[in-house]
Chain A
């Protein structure tokens, strides 16, 4: 335990008779993927430093069912959804925050009809609200003056029309936010959505993530900011395939904020 992260579980909270302000839904990528785990930890460091009483489900969390649903397996999706809803409702969860736009979209839009009604926010929206309430301050730190571009995740942007929260946060870092030629509602997918993350691409003449990485490189940014663990993987792979790892970093907005303040 080198980092001293404070990560209570809902079970521990319940044992103490407490209800957290917000339930942090970590998601499968955030729990298991080595790159995404860093995003999870960065977000927790911010929550800890802002003294936000939160809790995770820990081993009681399970896949939301998003990849199964987008692959066409509605049975598996609904089984996952109903099991998760049982757990969430047992803990009387009210507000949920997640750093994964896929979990976010599924929890927010597809769970209510199945009995899971919560106030679901994406971590960029949540951080923005902490900032607005004066519970979080953002400084540029090591990123001050750098050129940063933001890649809109499809399930945050087009799917849920959240374009401004991530940009507002980036601008607070005293950086130069530059847009790619395709951004916001016209943003190009990273190639991972619709369960593509878990399968080989169909025959074509290019990988989607390479096409998108070219958009990012054209913007001459030093950092590609992401807000989705899958976009992060795809863009990181794209940068590797272009052999630009030395010049361009791919970072989640939570990491930018946490690292700027050496959290």
Chain B
């Protein structure tokens, strides 16, 4: 046997993984455009959340139909990829089913479970496709998904189907050769192949060598397909299969109602309220120090967890379908907040790539060019979106940071809110009542 196949395989593998890693580095760099936030505390609870929510899919099953189908595809994905190890060894060393002789009966069980999962994945993916394209569930036909996102979702389903079909037909050709009279070199009897044995008769009457070539073809298409799919992740919402793990690990552990207190504000308020503070002796800002900006108008003002959230979002739309503003026809869609954040982050990333590692101002911001104030002001801060997200994303934290920018940097609150804030400032209540009248209720009938 020539070594050409093995060398070709090694090259494909290196190119496939190399390109993937170079893109993962870009994701890492882009996420680090965000400001720092400490999420290293309480690692025990963080590991537990990751195990329960990402690995255990605990929030997916809140919607049972989608949840159970998703678990099938997810388990199928994880388990069937064990087969990848064998494929890689076979490819590099020119072996055929290298594990079969060692594992014996276990190998039979493994291949059998891969095959059963493969057929279940095809069924689940078909139902997913029907939900998107035939039943047209509201969250899948929402305008957020117009254009590429809608195509992306279907591409993923087609890809998964093709990969599973290739896997099953590869096994079917193999199974056929295992039982041809007199056997076929290398094709040892490796197990029951419970699904592909029913496809094997398709090869009856075809010359053995031709079936072997067909087998090779399926084998190559399957592995190349997997590598292409892996590299497609970077361009797709499907990144969640990787990022759900860090995202659930680094998610907020505090009560959902607790919004962070801006430290920069605390400093200023303390100085304002300190009767001994002399504003003229306040230490001048250190040389070159950028004065603190309050709130967020662009992705660099968000923290890295919020940016990781944006890459993790798989656009399922559960958040939007639970959002009271969206349900009642307002423009706000929490899913769109996440999609916009990612789109802007990628735009900034491309700008950095094109300008030798430095971001050159492009006169655009996440605020206004992607997310409008109308969307931000429609939020009731009810946390339904945060509660719904199966991978612990918080669209609300981004909305709040952007409101802070609008109010504190631009004084651009709706006039009615300005009136409320003036009241709080002047008389300690959101309405124009005198603080001295606060206990009047006691004596009213």
B400–A202 CB distance below 8 A: no
B417–A71 CB distance below 8 A: yes
A71–B421 CB distance below 8 A: yes
Q: A31-B441, A68-B421, A105-B257 are in contact. Are A194 and B381 (CB under 8 A)?
A: yes
A161 within 8 A of B: yes
B255 within 8 A of A: yes
Residues of B within 8 A of A9 (CB): 439
B261–A74 CB distance below 8 A: yes
B428–A63 CB distance below 8 A: yes
Which residues of chain A (2-37) have a CB below 8 Å from chain B?
A: 2-3, 5, 7, 9, 26, 28, 30-33, 37
> What's the Cα separation between A193 and B431 when bound, in Å?
16
Contacting residue for A63 out of B258, B262, B273, B429, CB 8 A: B429
Residues of B within 8 A of A154 (CB): 257, 380-384
Contacting residue for A199 out of B374, B377, B444, CB 8 A: B377
Give the size of the chain B interface in residues (CB under 8 angstroms). Answer: 69
Instruction: Pick the interface stretch among B94-102, B105-113, B333-341, B408-416.
Output: B408-416
Give the size of the chain A interface in residues (CB under 8 angstroms). Answer: 73
A202–B330 CB distance below 8 A: yes
A80 within 8 A of B: yes
Residues of B within 8 A of A76 (CB): 421, 424-425
Residues of B within 8 A of A201 (CB): 330, 378
Give 14 A-B pairs besides A26-B441, A204-B378 with Cβ atoms closer than 8 angstroms. A2-B445, A28-B429, A32-B431, A32-B438, A62-B435, A72-B400, A73-B413, A80-B424, A154-B383, A155-B257, A191-B324, A199-B416, A204-B328, A206-B327
Residues of B with Cβ closer than 8 Å to A?
254-259, 261-262, 265-266, 268-270, 272-273, 294-295, 322, 324-325, 327-332, 374, 377-384, 386-387, 400, 403-408, 413-414, 416-417, 419-421, 424-425, 428-431, 433, 435-445
Residues of A with Cβ closer than 8 Å to B?
1-3, 5, 7, 9, 26, 28, 30-33, 37, 40-41, 56, 58-59, 61-63, 65, 67-76, 78-80, 82-83, 105, 109-110, 113-114, 154-155, 158-161, 185-186, 188-189, 191-208, 210-212
Q: Which 9 A-B pairs have the closest CB atoms?
A: A159-B257, A194-B381, A205-B329, A72-B403, A62-B428, A204-B329, A109-B258, A189-B382, A72-B407
